[in-house]
Chains A and B, each alone.
Chain A
Amino acid sequence: MANVGKKSTEWILFVILLIAAAAVIAPILIVLMNSFKGNIFITGGGTFKLPDSTSFVGFANYTTGIQRIHFFSAFGYSLWITIASVFAILLLTSMLAWYITRVKGRITSAIYYLLVFSMIVPFQMVMFPMSKIANMLHLDNLLGIVILYVGFGCGMSTFMFSGFIKSIPIALEEAAMIDGATPVVTFFRIVMPMLKSTAITIAILETMWVWNDYLMPYLVIGTEYRTIPVAIQYLRGGYGSVDMGAMMAMLVFAMIPVIAFYLACQKHIIRGVLAGAVKG
């Protein structure tokens, strides 16, 4: 009897989960469906109707959308900024983390606490001076923004790297140095290989942040180089008028790389998020 009861609760739970999963997926499918409908059929009561012979417009929304926001350039900018920033963050902050963990002193611990402090400061605090300084120093281009991302991503990444470095025995590094290896060789040959799994975690977290970031690219390079989020927000015309058809098509395009990335690296992403949440 108890067994039957257990089976039936399992079924009820399964059905609840199915409904929840449908609720999670439905919005994405509705966007996809509406991306094939004419503008006027998306709003005003027609949102949840399937496309029919009058509302179906084929790929027209996609072609208008791509032209209006130059989607493929936006994709290119996003891709470059994300890859370059994440790579630079990993390299520079792992070196910094090793240095401030292994060299003990007042200055290195002051640096550590400053970096930790930077993790809790919201972007709005530095937004205005930073965008002006970026202008003054000519960092308002595709290379300069990478420098800004390194500076802003430094805190969390150095914090996580140095947390890991503290846990690895120093003996290995000392042995290498006694054998005559310079710090540079020691770092790249001995330390860096050990940082691999922490580096993957950090790479995932920083990728999610940089790829989706809106305000920094909008303020610093938004007039010249529009990343995907900035480009999408630009579909909103003056006085709040929006071409909803083109918007739906571009939302689909914006989600495809994210979902592909998620399905490909799901295990790493979930593990990374867990590690980040517990430490951050």
Chain B
Amino acid sequence: MDKSLRKYFPLFALPALLCFTVSFLIPMVWGAVLSFCSFSTITNAEFVGLSNYVRAFTIDNYFTSALLFTLAFTVVTVITINILAFALALMLTRGIPCTNAFRTIFFMPNLIGGIILGWIWQMIINGFLAYYEKTLLSDSIYGFWGLVILMNWQNVGYMMVIYIAAIQNIPEDMLEAAMIDGANGRTTLFRIIIPSVMPSITICLFLTTTNGFKLYDQNLALTNGAPNHGTEMLALNIFNTFYSRVGFEGVGQAKAVLFTILVALIALMQLYFTRSKEVES
């Protein structure tokens, strides 16, 4: 079978691989090369060594502040989203009436696109702040918490669905045995439920981390980085470096490479953690 199929490469593999080469492979390699060059279009590149990487940090283009903002945002959202999602999942696995309707409602915001979400919450948060005669542009702290609320609204339902599936997979007799042995709710939660859903917790922690790091659309529509780059996250900062000032394309590409390394490190950590969990069980 291997042999008779092998010569069918042009038919089975080539079409998808051509698309992959044009839209990913070449741009990826080219992008990596360009990060060491000075250029304004991709054909007039001139080698400049590491200077783009140095300029990413030394010239004041808000890269470090975007990095710190993104880190703070990710830490806060990872914690809040997972706690809320886990709490909802616990409530929805106890046979309370209308469980399915609740699940349907909680998951829904996840399907709405980032740009649309950003504008919805811009209107609502500005509506609240208007009572204090402030707007999202008054201080970057409002943008920060606005993004946190938005992100929770969008992602809690998604993580909840993962947690519900995990909790439902816990063998019934394990919970019964715990009850017969007189375990109270707290003991059951910390000794049985949480340890048995640990793989799902790992998945959700990493999903929320990558979602936080890569956030772009919501950031663009909610504040567009205002006021004065105070709410600019990494992805938006990279975009603005590329497209809002001529002559900084190389710096933008260098930032993109650093961003990619950061995201890839998170993914590798995830792989390491999920693999080591699989070995245990």
Contact = CB atoms under 8 A, between A and B. Distances in A.
B105 A24 contact: yes
Contacts of B131: 45
A55 to B, nearest CB: 14
A128 B263 contact: no
B16 A158 contact: yes
Contacts of B97: 14
Interface stretch (A58-66, A117-125, A194-202): A117-125
A258 B41 CA distance: 38
Interface string B96-130: 11100011111111111111100111011011101
A142 interface: no
Interface string B199-214: 0000100010000001
B181 interface: no
Contacts of B221: 233
Interface stretch (B56-64, B75-83, B138-146, B251-259): B251-259
Chain A's interface: helix, strand, loop or mixed, by majority? Answer: helix
A152 B214 CA distance: 16
B259 A148 contact: no
A266 B108 CA distance: 9
A17 B96 contact: yes
B151 interface: no
A232 B119 contact: yes
A244 interface: yes
Given A125-B256, A274-B161, A102 B27 contact: no
Which of B20, B126, B131, B259 has the most C-beta atoms of chain A within 10 angstroms of its own C-beta?
A: B20
B19 A151 contact: yes
Contacts of B207: 277
Interface residues of A, number: 97
B266 to A, nearest CB: 8
Contact of B256 (A124, A137, A259): A124
A63 B65 CA distance: 42
Interface residues of B, number: 89
B22 A133 contact: yes
A229 B115 CA distance: 6
A43 B23 contact: no
A128 B249 contact: yes
Given A122-B263, A126-B27, A233-B221, A99 B9 contact: yes
A151 B21 CA distance: 7
Contacts of A147: 19, 22-23
A80 interface: no
B153 interface: yes
Contacts of B157: 24
A113 B161 CA distance: 29
Contacts of A31: 120, 123
Interface of A: 10, 13-14, 16-17, 20-21, 23-25, 27-28, 30-31, 34, 42-48, 92-93, 95-96, 98-100, 102-104, 111, 114-115, 118, 120-130, 132-134, 137, 139, 147-152, 154-155, 158, 170, 173-174, 177, 183-184, 187, 208, 211-215, 228-229, 232-233, 240, 244, 247-248, 251, 254-255, 258-259, 261-263, 266, 269-270, 273-274, 277-278
Across the A-B interface, the 6 shortest Cβ-Cβ residue pairs: A47-B127, A151-B23, A212-B113, A126-B27, A151-B19, A129-B27
